Amino acid sequence: MAMPSKTRILLGISGGIAAYKGVEVLRGLQREGAEVRVAMTAAAQKFIQPLTFEALSGHPVYTRLFPDAGDPDIVHVKLGEWPELILIAPATANVIAKMANGLADDLLTCTLLSSEAPVMVAPAMETAMYRHPAAQRNLQRLADMGYRLIGPEDGALASGRSGLGRLADPERIVAEAVSSAVTFGDLSGRKILVTGGRTEEDIDPVRFITNRSTGKMGYAVARRARQRGADVVLVSGPADLDQPAGVEFIRVRTVSEMRAATESAFEGADALVMTAAVLDFRPRVVSDAKIKKNANGLTLDLVANEDFLVGLGARKNGRIVVGFAMETENGLPNARKKLDEKHLDLIVLNDLNESGAGFGVDTNVVTLIDGDEAEPLPKMSKLEVADRILDWVIDRWTQTPRP
């Protein structure tokens, strides 16, 4: 699919030997019909002159945080509002570290902080730097913030060595930017309610039961729905993740809190995507005082929590309702049963036996089940899974009139 013409892309170039490949990225994006502006760090300008990018983009290159005296515009604020996509290629270890920590000491990093546009990052560095725990932690941080990473790849490096850390091929960078750009705005005017994270139920003032969900899947759905233009409400149980930008965020802890928040937001929503790991049981009695240690042990008496997705599915009234099924055996029949019993339009089967699926990892292996159709998807990032679910929802809307 081609990129919508005149897609506004801010290309950030940081200071590595691969900076010259920014030229190929720029030309590739222009070939695809994008309107590209370029911002360079000071170090990038040591490797390649801004004039090159200025001539090719037909616009001045952004390099300075502080405008000339008498210029009333605050450059980074205006620049942050302009793009529909920010692409940093190449991204050095230093710029990645700054982004991961919210540092803003030059025009590029300041613009990143003041922009709500989706961000794609193509790292380029020596293998040892790439493998360093600090760099890995920073890259993970970016992924958690919803930034898309492209590469790096294995190959020849600036030092003459060969290894992991080489900037992804410019053609691949352009292709990934294009595939991200085709979805811009396709959810605008829609309200999407997402639940995510785990839930907790108290035993006494110091102990509770919970489950192993980290919230990554739900946060990915909320993030991508927002980036694709939807108004998004995220009802989240506990999750150690950064809140997605531009999303109305409602923090809950117990199942009854999640139920109340989800039911009230459901009224104004066009679709519900229920990724939250809702506890099926809670202690019958919550002790006011800490339960003392006892040589005979302790038997917990658990009662069933209400499955509020069933109730929401039953009164969806034209809304699309998507559920998740987490299974360890008989995945397909179990998921189909939940699809019917909970009156869902789509159920996303998550088979915990697959490697790269389930809790805590950034990838997932799922099957999309709708009626008699079951589409198994290959292992992909949770952001990509989120896109496939949202693609399905949009597809359904194009087939049925708006509620």
Which positions from 324 to 363 touch ligand CTP by CB under 6 A, shown as an x/- string? Answer: xxx-----------x-------------------------
Asked if 309 interacts with ligand CTP (CB under 6 A), we say yes
**# of chain residues touching ligand CTP (CB under 6 A):** 13
Asked if 87 interacts with ligand CTP (CB under 6 A), we say no
Q: In 59-212, where does DSSP find H-type helix? A: 75-81, 93-101, 107-114, 127-131, 133-144, 170-181
Query: Which listed residue (278, 365, 369, 385) binds ligand CTP by CB under 6 A?
Result: 278
Distances (CA, A) of 387 to 97, 121, 227, 258, 373: 27, 18, 10, 24, 19
Can you tell me the distance from the alpha carbon of 192 to that of 18, in angstroms, rounded to the nearest whole number?
40
Give the footprint of ligand CTP on residues 18-37 (CB under 6 A): none
Stretch that binds ligand CTP, among 66-74, 201-209, 220-228, 306-314 (CB under 6 A): 306-314
- Provide φ and ψ at 377, rounded to 5°: -100, 145
Asked if 115 interacts with ligand CTP (CB under 6 A), we say no
Nearest to 193 by CA among 128, 247, 116: 247
Can you tell me the distance from the alpha carbon of 217 to that of 386, in angstroms, rounded to the nearest whole number?
7
Asked if 214 interacts with ligand CTP (CB under 6 A), we say no
Can you tell me the distance from the alpha carbon of 44 to that of 36, in angstroms, rounded to the nearest whole number?
17
Q: Which amino acid belongs to residue 74?
A: I
Catalytically active residues, by annotation = 211
Asked if 253 interacts with ligand CTP (CB under 6 A), we say no
Non-local CB neighbours of 208 within 8 Å, separated by 6+ positions? 200, 201, 202
Asked if 135 interacts with ligand CTP (CB under 6 A), we say no
- Provide φ and ψ at 153, rounded to 5°: -115, 170
The nearest distance, CB 259 to ligand CTP, in angstroms, is: 8
CB 38 within 8 A of CB 15: no
Query: Which listed residue (276, 321, 366, 368) binds ligand CTP by CB under 6 A?
Result: 276
Q: Which amino acid belongs to residue 132?
A: H
Q: Which amino acid belongs to residue 115?
A: S
Stretch that binds ligand CTP, among 47-55, 113-121, 141-149, 303-311 (CB under 6 A): 303-311
3-state secondary structure of 298: coil
Which positions from 255 to 274 touch ligand CTP by CB under 6 A, shown as an x/- string? Answer: -------------------x
Asked if 218 interacts with ligand CTP (CB under 6 A), we say no
Chain residue whose CB lies nearest ligand CTP? 309
Question: Which residue lies nearer to ligand CTP by CB, 319 or 338?
Answer: 338
Question: Which residue lies nearer to ligand CTP by CB, 80 or 237?
Answer: 237
Can you tell me the distance from the alpha carbon of 291 to that of 278, in angstroms, rounded to the nearest whole number?
25
3-state secondary structure of 116: coil
Can you tell me the distance from the alpha carbon of 403 to that of 401, in angstroms, rounded to the nearest whole number?
6
Stretch that binds ligand CTP, among 145-153, 178-186, 235-243, 301-309 (CB under 6 A): 301-309
DSSP classification of residue 300: -
The nearest distance, CB 339 to ligand CTP, in angstroms, is: 10
DSSP classification of residue 269: -
Question: Which residue lies nearer to ligand CTP by CB, 87 or 274?
Answer: 274
Asked if 323 interacts with ligand CTP (CB under 6 A), we say yes
Stretch that binds ligand CTP, among 53-61, 154-162, 288-296, 317-325 (CB under 6 A): 317-325
Query: Which listed residue (54, 154, 171, 280) binds ligand CTP by CB under 6 A?
Result: 280
CB 140 within 8 A of CB 103: no
Question: Which residue lies nearer to ligand CTP by CB, 138 or 213?
Answer: 213
Question: Which residue lies nearer to ligand CTP by CB, 35 or 307?
Answer: 307
Can you tell me the distance from the alpha carbon of 380 to that of 137, in angstroms, rounded to the nearest whole number?
20
Asked if 147 interacts with ligand CTP (CB under 6 A), we say no
| Residue carrying the six token digits 């750009």 | 181
Asked if 236 interacts with ligand CTP (CB under 6 A), we say no
Q: Which residues bind ligand CTP (CB under 6 A)?
A: 274, 276, 278, 280, 305, 307-309, 323-326, 338
